[in-house]
Copies of this chain bind each other. A is one copy, B any other.
Amino acid sequence: MDLQQIRGQIDTIDGEILRLFEERMELVKGVAQYKRENNLPIFHKDREDQIIQRIGEQASEENEQGAKVLFSTLMNISKCLQQNTVRDYSSQTLSLLETVNSHPAPPEHPVVACPGVIGSYTYLAGKKKFPNAEIRMFERFGDVFDAVQAGEVDCGVLPIENSNAGSVSEVYDLMRSHDFYINHSIRLKINHCLCARPGTRLEDVTEVYSYIQGLAQCSEFICAHNLIKREYSNTAAAAEFVSQSEKPFAAICSAESAQEYGLEILREGIQNIDENYTRFIVISKHLYPNPESDTVATSLTLANAVGSLYNLLTKFAVSGVNLTKIESKPIGNKNFDVIFYLDFTGNVLNESTIHLINDLSNELSGFKFLGNYKYE
């Protein structure tokens, strides 16, 4: 048999499999309807396990594992498509739908919270997004979360990840213990400068102060000049500290911070990699659905990283959404169990996004909807 003949036979088989798949989906709809009429739960783990076990027994030895994976996927697809016909809304989905239907508008002149002191990168990001807003500075990341949660400010700006240093762990940790919604993201090019009091020469500088990530992003420069790294709460506060010290210290900060605190720029663009970007999130106490949003932020814990992650990705594939971010953080137990932060494409004003969020919140006990924003 030549290649074309074999392929013709494969195509015929594929057509038959597709026909059977469609028939199966019709029957599954019947099951869903029966369950709805009789108030039975949609998912039936035992029944799934029985099917997989039987398939494993019936399959030839060499194809057993493959057949099991195929039927797990088949049942996952069934469940996703059933979700589209059954409206079994979770409390999270109901609250989300209420927000969507009430069309809340964000405040026209928001009060914006930023961490650090004036001139910090987060301050610059806040200014970029809200040029005319009143910006209030708070000492720590946690203070920004607290102010947003307490309703003291309309929104808060926080750094979330850098293209070189990775995610900002402290912000992720604070996300777990606060209630908020992400409504925007901001991307800023980071151009680190080595700054000192006027008259200081580079060769006199012994210690350099900055935020952890600033130090990490300039590690090659710091190493080449044999400087001692000193961690500071943020880059602009480091500039302020250096401006007040009488020792020949330097700060790694933005050109704006140098100007703000009367420092001289000794070297510009000292980051290891020139293309250095930081992304920031804008959080609020309320969700403001926006037709321009294109990314849904969520967090979830998975009992078993393999199977569960695979099943989750099946849902995304069936819904046709793209996973734009996957980030795992330890929960903090002996087994190194993790919490996943997953961002995917979607807008809560679309029914399909609501269905997917509902599906996830129904199936995963640790699921949390964190917001909807335009990826920038």
Contact = CB atoms under 8 A, between A and B. Distances in A.
A168 to B, nearest CB: 11
Interface residues of A, number: 94
Interface string A1-40: 1110011011101111110111111011011001100000
Contacts of A60: 22
A80 B66 contact: yes
A132 to B, nearest CB: 28
Given A63-B81, A65-B319, 9 more contacts: A10-B28, A13-B20, A15-B58, A66-B81, A69-B77, A165-B169, A229-B231, A305-B323, A306-B317
A30 to B, nearest CB: 5
Contact of A17 (B7, B20, B322): B20
A109 interface: no
Given A163-B336, A336-B279, A25 B77 contact: no
Nearest to A344: B306
Contacts of A314: 69, 310
Nearest to A329: B166
26 contacts: A1-B30, A3-B34, A7-B47, A10-B27, A13-B20, A13-B27, A14-B55, A17-B21, A17-B71, A21-B66, A21-B67, A22-B67, A25-B63, A65-B318, A65-B320, A69-B318, A161-B330, A163-B330, A163-B336, A164-B332, A165-B330, A169-B216, A212-B212, A231-B231, A305-B324, A326-B326
Nearest to A212: B212
A94 to B, nearest CB: 25
A79 to B, nearest CB: 10
Contact of A326 (B54, B163, B328): B328
Nearest to A217: B332
Contacts of A129: none
Contacts of A162: 330
A101 interface: no
A133 interface: no
Contacts of A325: 305
A30 B165 CA distance: 49
Contacts of A78: 66
A9 to B, nearest CB: 6
A318 to B, nearest CB: 5
Contacts of A17: 17, 20-21, 24, 71, 74
A138 interface: no
Interface string A46-74: 01000100110011101101110111111
A9 B29 CA distance: 13
A45 interface: no
A362 to B, nearest CB: 18
